[in-house]
Amino acid sequence: MLKLTHCLLFILFLPLFTVAQGFSLTDDLGNSIQFNRNPNRVISLAPNITEMLFKLDKQDIIVGNTTFCYFPEEARLINKVGDLLTVNYEKIIELNPDLILLTVEGNQKSVYDKLINLGFDLFVSNPRDYKGIKKTYLDMGKIFDKQEFVENEIAKWDSTFNHIEKEAVSFTPQTVMILVELNPIMVAGKNTFINTYIETCNMKNFAEDLLLNYPVFSREVVIERDPYIIVYPSSGHETIKTLTDMYPEWKSLSAIKESRVFFVDRDLYFRPGPRFIEALSDFFSRLMQID
- DSSP-derived secondary structure letter, 262: E
128: left (phi over 0), alpha (psi -120 to 50) or beta: alpha
Mean residue pLDDT of the chain comes to: 92
Q: Which of 23, 230, 281, 252 is nearest to 145 (CA)?
A: 23
Beta bridge pairs of residue 123: 101
pLDDT digit string (tens) for 214-241?
A: 999 999 999 999 999 999 998 888 899 9
Whole-number pLDDT of residue 235: 80
pLDDT digit string (tens) for 56-67?
A: 999 999 999 999
184 preceded by cis ω (within 30°)? yes
CATH 3.90.110.10 fits 16-146, yes or no: no
Tell me which amino acid residue 244 is.
T
Q: For residues 55 and 77, what is the distance between their CA atoms, to the nearest angstrom?
A: 16
Q: Which residues of 195-229 are buried (b: 16+ CB within 10 A; e: fewer)?
A: bbbbbbbbbbbbbeeeeebbbebeeeebeeeebbb
* pTM of full prediction above 0.85: yes
CATH hierarchy code of domain 160-290: 3.40.50.1980
Q: Is the pLDDT of residue 8 over 50?
A: no
Q: Which of 112, 103, 124 is nearest to 192 (CA)?
A: 103
**Mean pLDDT computed over 256-265:** 97
Outline which parts of the chain fall under CATH 3.40.50.1980: 16-146, 160-290
Q: Is the pLDDT of residue 70 over 60?
A: yes
